[in-house]
Amino acid sequence: MADARLSTVSPRRGVRLATGAAVLALLLTACSGGATDADGSDPAGEGGAGDPVAGGTLVYATGDAEPTCLDPHVGGNYPQALISTQYLEPLVGRDAEGQIQPWLATDWEVSQDGLTWEMTLAEGITFTDGTPLDAEAVKANIEHLQDPETASSTGFLAVQKIAEVEPVDATHVRFHLSEPDSALLESLSMQWTAIQSPAGIERGMEENCAAPIGTGPFTVAEWVPQQHVILERNEDYASHGPEADHGGPAHLERIEWRFLPDPATRWAALQSGEVHVIDNPEPEAIVAAENGTAGDQFTHLDAPRPGSVNRIELNSSQPPFDDERVREAFVRAADVDPGIEALYQGVATRSHSPLSSVEPMAYSDPELFGTDPDAAARLLDEAGWNETDSEGYRVKDGERLTVRFPVSTNQSVAAEQALFEQIQANTREVGFEVVLTPLDLSAWYGALAAPEDGGENSYEAVSAPYTKVGPDVLRTLYHSDGTQPAPSGYFANLSQVTDEELDATLEEAARITDPGERPALYEQAQRQVLEGYYILPLYDQQNHFLTRGVSGVTTLGTVSTPTFINARLTQP
């Protein structure tokens, strides 16, 4: 059994396993028609351009892919996090300053050896089916995430080091770890590990996917696929997280969560007053909302996601990117800065780091990514790609320098897809043939599936957003273990990095619980990723919301998903 000596950690200080940036969840920018408070929420009435009213139905229009399952334990993508924030809650939260905060768990302690964690649960909390939130419920949830039949990816990886869950009594649960995990609280703050009713889980995957049961401010009342989900207010809501500004239930009576994949349609619906909140707006809509050319009644919420940046991963496990010279040549020829400036109209800022700008341990090195087509050409010559075919593409041993690049149309807005086309044109100038293939989310996941029987992957480059709280996302994305699929079939190390030195650095960073020792290790890991030209960083994972006719909308300090616990509809 692990060392039984426990050191008490103040939940308000949050163990400081991940000291988030002060701007982590809510870099919320006010447009000309509405202001936002320092905590990221609208002061009553201002963002909604009117006085708040009681009750009502808020209409939210999302451009993210419709989930195939409303239980974020299954699979584990961002669309699931967006909607599940309304009905499922995690054990801990994180505030706007990035500090871990109590939520369903009120206190926690960690042993001196880092192998035993004890959590105290809030008393008197029940799931909306009447099942009590207790230690047995927490055990059922961790086991659900770890069960291969659940087909989890994000949640499965997050709790991988929990070897055993021991219910001590109703309000105390003990985690026994296989090795120290400095990111445990960060992992338990995410929607993909949110706690749900064990009785709901026991109904089976099909029923639980249709309507998971949680402790949140809303419940799933109806799901009409390809149309909407209706969320009804939880009248007995009592487990208020760090973002709640009042006791009791939500002000709204219900939320209608619509699936509108076309960004122009979403923006038009917001302008007409048909909907109150949209996500994934195009840059021109954000600019119009902010500068007042679309009217003065809109509010822009800018909440970059934590974890990794949007980046292009170069598959180092197979030709042509198994040669570092070819990877660097691609990066030197891509010339992404002009495209980002023109296409994003100031909404996105170029990144030169593997980590989001809201991660305080992000390390950046712009000099590695300067555009230099002549250097790119020399590198390709050195790598043996020194002949061209009749179309001007480079060839080697009779094979064309081809880069297959599947693109998720659900995760890449039109501006990003246009950026990829510019990269395609720029790299063609030095001899790359980049084949862009637009795919919906399901087909895109299929294109990235791990090859069977040692075969090759069906991609050489891919832009794959990955959201996880804290710098431990580097271990998920670049440790060699990540080349193996999770139970869902998805594997996160898409650049296929297998570097023993990098593995050792990431493992040591994960074991270290002293916040003073972590930054140097994570900087070293980022240097290794950047200097190996495994990725081409682009910008933070864009997470923008436009609102109209509603105040009090804010985002979680964890994975930057919107919460409507404080929201009120407004009238002119």
pTM equals: 0.86
Let me know: does 549 contact 60? Beta carbons within 8 Å.
Answer: no
Q: Which of 250, 254, 270 is nearest to 262 (CA)?
A: 270
Work out the number of other CB atoms within 10 angstroms of the CB of residue 225: 11
The strand pair at 554-555 and 562-563 is best described as antiparallel
CB-neighbour burial class of residue 199 (10 A; exposed 0-12, middle 13-18, buried 19+): middle
Above pLDDT 70, what percent of the chain?
A: 90
Least confident span in 55-69, 211-225, 307-321, 504-518:
504-518
pLDDT of residue 452: 66
Which residues, at least 6 apart from 207, have a Cβ–Cβ distance to it below 8 Å? Answer: none
CB-neighbour burial class of residue 455 (10 A; exposed 0-12, middle 13-18, buried 19+): exposed
More confident residue, 43 or 516: 516
pLDDT of residue 571: 87
Q: Helix H segments across 322-384?
A: 324-334, 337-344, 373-382
At 452, list the tokens: 């069977």
Specify the amino acid at residue 189: S
pLDDT of residue 377: 98
- Spatial separation of the C-alpha atoms in residues 126 and 271, rounded to whole Å: 39
pLDDT of residue 33: 37
CATH number of 6-303+543-571: 3.40.190.10
pLDDT of residue 9: 37
- Spatial separation of the C-alpha atoms in residues 315 and 56, rounded to whole Å: 49
At 122, list the tokens: 């809030």
pLDDT of residue 40: 41
More confident residue, 9 or 197: 197
pLDDT of residue 454: 66
Q: How confident is the model at residue 497 (pLDDT cuts 50, 70, 90)?
A: very high
**Can you name the residues that pair with 52 across neighbouring β-strands?**
570
- Spatial separation of the C-alpha atoms in residues 510 and 525, rounded to whole Å: 12
Q: How confident is the model at residue 16 (pLDDT cuts 50, 70, 90)?
A: very low
- Spatial separation of the C-alpha atoms in residues 195 and 131, rounded to whole Å: 12
Q: How confident is the model at residue 465 (pLDDT cuts 50, 70, 90)?
A: confident
Angle at 562 between CA 559 and CA 567, to 5 degrees: 150
Q: How confident is the model at residue 19 (pLDDT cuts 50, 70, 90)?
A: very low
Whether residue 87 is predicted with pLDDT greater than 80 in this model: the reply is yes
pLDDT of residue 461: 98
- Greatest Cα pair distance in the chain: 74
Torsion of CA 491, 496, 501, 507, to 10 degrees: -10
Q: Which of 497, 406, 499, 417 is nearest to 446 (CA)?
A: 406
pLDDT of residue 453: 62
Whether residue 450 is predicted with pLDDT greater than 80 in this model: the reply is no
- pLDDT tens digits, residue range 31-81? 333 334 333 444 333 444 578 999 999 999 999 889 999 999 999 999 999
- Spatial separation of the C-alpha atoms in residues 236 and 216, rounded to whole Å: 10
**Can you name the residues that pair with 388 across neighbouring β-strands?**
394
CB-neighbour burial class of residue 119 (10 A; exposed 0-12, middle 13-18, buried 19+): buried
At 148, list the tokens: 């291969």
pLDDT of residue 6: 34
Q: Which residue has the tokens 């390809």?
A: 226
Q: How confident is the model at residue 505 (pLDDT cuts 50, 70, 90)?
A: very high
Domain boundaries, the chain: 6-303+543-571, 309-540
In angstroms, what is the C-alpha Rg of the chain? 23
Average pLDDT over the chain, rounded to whole? 89
- pLDDT tens digits, residue range 254-282? 999 999 999 999 999 999 999 999 999 99
- Spatial separation of the C-alpha atoms in residues 503 and 512, rounded to whole Å: 14
Number of helical (H) and strand (E) elements in the chain, helices listed first? 16, 27
Q: Helix H segments across 147-219?
A: 154-158, 184-188, 198-201, 205-210
Angle at 295 between CA 294 and CA 297, to 5 degrees: 120
**Can you name the residues that pair with 107 across neighbouring β-strands?**
120
Q: Which of 59, 467, 100 is nearest to 255 (CA)?
A: 59
Whether residue 111 is predicted with pLDDT greater than 50 in this model: the reply is yes
- Spatial separation of the C-alpha atoms in residues 540 and 462, rounded to whole Å: 16
Let me know: does 384 contact 396? Beta carbons within 8 Å.
Answer: yes
More confident residue, 185 or 442: 185
Report the topology of domain 309-540. Dipeptide-binding Protein; domain 3 (3.10.105)
- Spatial separation of the C-alpha atoms in residues 220 and 214, rounded to whole Å: 9
